[in-house]
Amino acid sequence: MVKLLDFWAEWCGPCKFMEPILEEIEKELSGKVEIEKINVDENQELTVKHGVMSIPTYIVTKDDKEVERIIGATSKENLLKAITKHE
């Protein structure tokens, strides 16, 4: 199963900008991809474990192994491409 880890925070402007894009992707890829939202302020252990230094950071995993990483706000197309090439 492909999973998208979304590292974000309440105070992060680019994270808020990406929110509607992630919601669209979640609807479009429903049943194919699981999106896990990780608030970096509340989940520091997971943030450190994945080596996240800035947000937003999107990590695509397949079978619990990182296969792709996007740092910063990006286009819906870029995010979809990063996810779907590992389905």
Closest CA to 4 of 42, 18, 48: 18
The one catalytic residue in 2, 15, 22, 73 is 15
Tokens encoding 37: 């939202």
Q: Which of 12, 52, 60, 73 is catalytic?
A: 12
Determine whether 32 is an active site residue: no
Q: Are 85 and 26 in contact (CB under 8 A)?
A: no
Q: Please indicate whether residue 15 is annotated as part of the active site.
A: yes
Query: Taking Cα atoms as reference points, which of 10, 69, 13 lies closest to residue 40?
Result: 10
Which active-site residues does the annotation give?
A: 12, 15
